[in-house]
Amino acid sequence: MTSAEKYVLAAYLVFLAAVLAYLVIIALKVGRLEQELGDLVRLARERRDG
Amino acid sequence: MSSPNRAAAALAIAAAGLLVGGVALAIFWAPEDVDQGFSQKIFFIHVPVALTAYAFFGFGAWKALRLLSTRNSRYDLESYTAVHMGVIFGLLTLVTGSIWAKTSWGQWWSWGERQLVLFLIVFLFYSAYFMLRYSTDPGPRRERNSAVFALFGVALIPVSFLAVRIAGTILHPTVFTHDDGVAMPWEMFLAFCICLGGVLALAATFYRVELAGKRIDESLKELREQLA
């Protein structure tokens, strides 16, 4: 692999890594939102049942 | 699947298809640049990412203007999300540009290049947006301050974009010029357009997902306050 090819590969990998990192962040966020929603639903049920 | 979810899924599929196709065409089909050789292939990712960052900053300013004219809080969240995405794409522009600079010019950065320095100023300006936003309590004052900041920033974009054309340049290439039009073979231009479409579709997907996440966050916060 030539030096130019390595740099081109690096640039495209940076882009791919950013996309994958964003997916990981979104997955973690969805998990957190799911947990928060579950807590609120539980709290609302407790209120309803007295 | 609801309509917004279907739109986001369609955008994501379009982004994947366009990006895979565009990058394949750029690497294997488009001719090599006579001056720069294979390293010029970075152009096909670097320039679409930079244009996407500019588009997000412009979109954020448009939403800020809508907020100031209508006082509708939904535009605050939309403007904030656009600036947020613009900063992410701005950072990617700086990183991919630095890699290209290293292989093409032999250095990671050149302070003598006006376009690079002006892009860095735009990036730092919008990075400061978050400091301003989170130094004020949520409410109409924060919405107005953030909107005015986003509007000021957009004035830097034409300066940054046109700097290389107005001032002349030594290192940074100018591909799209007023006099000569597109200064590249049509195969390169086609691959570039497909890559640009892919990056824009990906950016639009991220924007929708990010905005939905922020809206859910706000709704949950309101619900929590009501149940407390």
Residue given tokens 């982004």 in the structure block: B15
Does B131 have pLDDT greater than 80?
yes
pLDDT tens per residue, range B140-165: 999 999 999 999 888 888 877 676 56
Q: Do B99 and A43 touch (CB under 8 A)?
A: no
* A42 to chain B, closest Cα gap in Å: 11
- Domain assignment present for residue B153? The answer is yes
B35 burial level (CB within 10 Å; 0-12, 13-18, 19+): exposed
pLDDT tens per residue, range B3-49: 667 888 899 999 999 999 999 999 999 998 888 888 899 999 999 99
**Distance separating alpha carbons of residues B120 and B170, to the nearest angstrom:** 18
- Domain assignment present for residue B146? The answer is yes
- Domain assignment present for residue B6? The answer is no
Angle in degrees, CA B13, B92, A17, rounded to 5: 60
**Distance separating alpha carbons of residues B136 and B118, to the nearest angstrom:** 28
**Distance separating alpha carbons of residues B136 and B175, to the nearest angstrom:** 42
Report whether B213 contacts B221 (CB < 8 A): no
* B20 to chain A, closest Cα gap in Å: 11
Which of the four pLDDT bands, split at 50, 70 and 90, describes residue B178? low
Q: Do B92 and A14 touch (CB under 8 A)?
A: yes
Please enumerate in sequence order all residues whose Cβ is within 8 A of that of B85, keeping only pairs 6 or more positions apart, or say none. B56, B203, B206, B207, B210
For residue B111, what are the domain limits? 42-185+206-227
Does A17 have pLDDT greater than 60?
yes
Spell out the domain ranges in chain A: 1-50
pLDDT value of residue B159: 77
Q: Do A26 and B213 touch (CB under 8 A)?
A: yes
pLDDT value of residue B165: 65
- Domain assignment present for residue B115? The answer is yes
ipTM of the complex: 0.87
- Domain assignment present for residue B24? The answer is no
Torsion of CA B219, B222, B224, B228, to 10 degrees: -160
Phi, psi of B182 (to 5 degrees): -85, 115
pLDDT value of residue B2: 66
Cα atoms in the Cβ-side hemisphere of radius 13 Å centred on B92:
31
Number of residues in chain B: 228
Cβ-based contacts of A4 with chain B (< 8 Å)? 37-39, 103
- Domain assignment present for residue B176? The answer is yes
Percentage of chain B surpassing pLDDT 70? 89
Mean pLDDT of A29-34: 92
Residue given tokens 């010019």 in the structure block: B105
Mean pLDDT of B176-190: 75
Does B99 have pLDDT greater than 70?
yes
Does B180 have pLDDT greater than 70?
no
- Domain assignment present for residue B113? The answer is yes
Which of the four pLDDT bands, split at 50, 70 and 90, describes residue B185? confident
- Total number of domains constituting chain B: 1
Q: Do A7 and B92 touch (CB under 8 A)?
A: no
The amino acid at B13? I
